[in-house]
């Protein structure tokens, strides 16, 4: 099969190459999926770039196939898999428990059956791929970690990326008042998605504004958490959700740790966004897509041969919505 294999850690365009490799075989409880589309997310650029260097101790670069989001059809079933048949359209994730063997920047991948759900016919493979990690993370934030609803005021910092564009739409669908913070080129986009107010972070610092929010989903952590807390209403909840799109990975991890510590010290209510796959959570995202309440924002679709450029685009932290890779029919 064709797959994009990593040679070493480094800039995506220097270390990723398209090659022919063996098709994986599904083991017991696993499913071989013929991929139609996947998407590029934060874990992919981190694993390709290998920054900070300490991460290189825990993951091998040579020969690795990255990518975690799955949209495709069942090609073969391992022993003991029930409830799925060859030819079924599915989507899901290799992130976490599903990451056995090679990833999704390839024509085929294998995952555990428990990491897949049926793909509704009305959702294209491209939209399904875009909705996995970004949709799951946004749903985990604005439904599970902080249940938005009528009367709640939510601020989304980093509103124009994959996670933010899903979070705006899900929170608006649930009746929340949404303030979206993004760069000047994306103000129109976030308003089109339903944001009640859009703040250009190059002109206005939301932490020094008088407005207060019941929850802040912080996809950037470009402000020290204790400053972001100032924009919380009494009893408000801070949702730190960024490792490294502003100031580097170590700085991002340090700010995430500081937010958690300040939360434990009682300075604010701080909740982790656990965007891991569960079938129920992906089904909830799928239901929102099916009814048209949420539409994935896709910045660009790349063919598998241009995966390196797709990962470089993600690494720029300037994607408008999601980046998808299509494998063709």
Ligand X SMILES: NC(=O)c1ccc[n+]([C@@H]2O[C@H](COP(=O)([O-])OP(=O)(O)OC[C@H]3O[C@@H](n4cnc5c(N)ncnc54)[C@H](OP(=O)(O)O)[C@@H]3O)[C@@H](O)[C@H]2O)c1
Residues near ligand X (CB under 6 A) are 41-42, 133-134, 137, 158-164, 182-183, 186, 201, 219-220, 222, 241-243, 245-246, 273, 275, 317-319
- The smaller minimum CB distance to ligand X, of residues 35 and 249, is found at 249
- The smaller minimum CB distance to ligand X, of residues 21 and 207, is found at 207
What is the nearest approach in angstroms of ligand X to the Cβ of residue 182?
A: 4
Closest CA to 70 of 114, 16, 29, 128: 128
CA distance 48 to 108: 20
- The smaller minimum CB distance to ligand X, of residues 158 and 296, is found at 158
CA distance 322 to 122: 19
CA distance 88 to 221: 40
Is residue 112 a contact partner of residue 287, using CB atoms and an 8 Å limit? no
CA distance 150 to 64: 45
What is the nearest approach in angstroms of ligand X to the Cβ of residue 4?
A: 19
What is the nearest approach in angstroms of ligand X to the Cβ of residue 318?
A: 5
- The smaller minimum CB distance to ligand X, of residues 72 and 275, is found at 275
- The smaller minimum CB distance to ligand X, of residues 69 and 107, is found at 69
What is the nearest approach in angstroms of ligand X to the Cβ of residue 121?
A: 27
What is the nearest approach in angstroms of ligand X to the Cβ of residue 160?
A: 4
- The smaller minimum CB distance to ligand X, of residues 32 and 245, is found at 245
Q: CA 297 → CA 1, 144, 148, 164, distances in Å?
A: 29, 22, 21, 10
What is the nearest approach in angstroms of ligand X to the Cβ of residue 268?
A: 18
CA distance 218 to 241: 6
What is the nearest approach in angstroms of ligand X to the Cβ of residue 204?
A: 12
- The smaller minimum CB distance to ligand X, of residues 153 and 223, is found at 223
- The smaller minimum CB distance to ligand X, of residues 77 and 187, is found at 187
Is residue 219 a contact partner of residue 139, using CB atoms and an 8 Å limit? no
Structure tokens, 213: 């929010």
Is residue 193 a contact partner of residue 255, using CB atoms and an 8 Å limit? no
- The smaller minimum CB distance to ligand X, of residues 152 and 219, is found at 219
Closest CA to 223 of 262, 279, 278, 273: 262
Closest CA to 111 of 282, 296, 328: 282
CA 329 to chain centre: 25
What is the nearest approach in angstroms of ligand X to the Cβ of residue 222?
A: 4
Structure tokens, 310: 């797709």
Q: CA 9 → CA 5, 63, 243, distances in Å?
A: 11, 11, 18
Task: Write the DSSP symbol of residue 50.
Answer: T
What is the nearest approach in angstroms of ligand X to the Cβ of residue 139?
A: 11
CA distance 38 to 274: 21
């Amino acid at each position: 099969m064709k797959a994009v294999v990593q040679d070493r850690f480094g800039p995506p365009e220097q270390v990723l190459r398209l090659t022919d490799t063996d098709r994986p075989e599904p083991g017991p409880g696993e499913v071989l999926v013929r991929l139609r589309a996947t998407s590029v997310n934060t874990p992919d650029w981190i694993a390709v770039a290998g920054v900070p260097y300490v991460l290189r101790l825990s993951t091998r670069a040579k020969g690795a196939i990255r990518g975690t989001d799955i949209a495709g059809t069942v090609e073969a079933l391992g022993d003991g898999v029930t409830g799925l048949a060859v030819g079924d359209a599915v989507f899901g994730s290799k992130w976490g428990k599903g990451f056995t063997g090679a990833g999704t920047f390839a024509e085929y991948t294998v995952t555990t059956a428990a990491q897949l759900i049926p793909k509704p016919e009305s959702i294209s493979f491209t939209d399904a791929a875009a909705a996995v990690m970004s949709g799951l993370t946004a749903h985990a934030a604005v439904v599970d970690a902080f249940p938005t609803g009528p009367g709640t005021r939510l601020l989304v910092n980093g509103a124009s990326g994959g996670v933010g564009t899903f979070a705006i739409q899900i929170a608006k669908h649930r009746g929340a008042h949404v303030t979206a913070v993004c760069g000047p080129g994306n103000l129109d986009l976030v308003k089109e998605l339903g944001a009640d107010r859009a703040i250009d972070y190059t002109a206005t610092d939301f932490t020094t504004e008088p407005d207060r929010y019941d929850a802040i989903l912080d996809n950037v952590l470009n402000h020290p958490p204790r400053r972001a807390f100032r924009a919380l209403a009494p009893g408000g909840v801070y949702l730190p959700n960024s490792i490294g799109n502003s100031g580097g990975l170590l700085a991002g991890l340090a700010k995430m740790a500081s937010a958690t510590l300040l939360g434990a010290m009682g300075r604010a209510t701080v909740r982790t966004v656990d965007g891991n796959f569960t079938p129920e959570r992906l089904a909830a995202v799928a239901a929102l897509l099916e009814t048209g309440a949420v539409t994935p924002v896709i910045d660009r679709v790349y063919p598998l041969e241009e995966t390196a450029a797709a990962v470089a685009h993600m690494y720029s932290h300037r994607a408008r919505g999601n980046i998808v890779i299509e494998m063709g029919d």
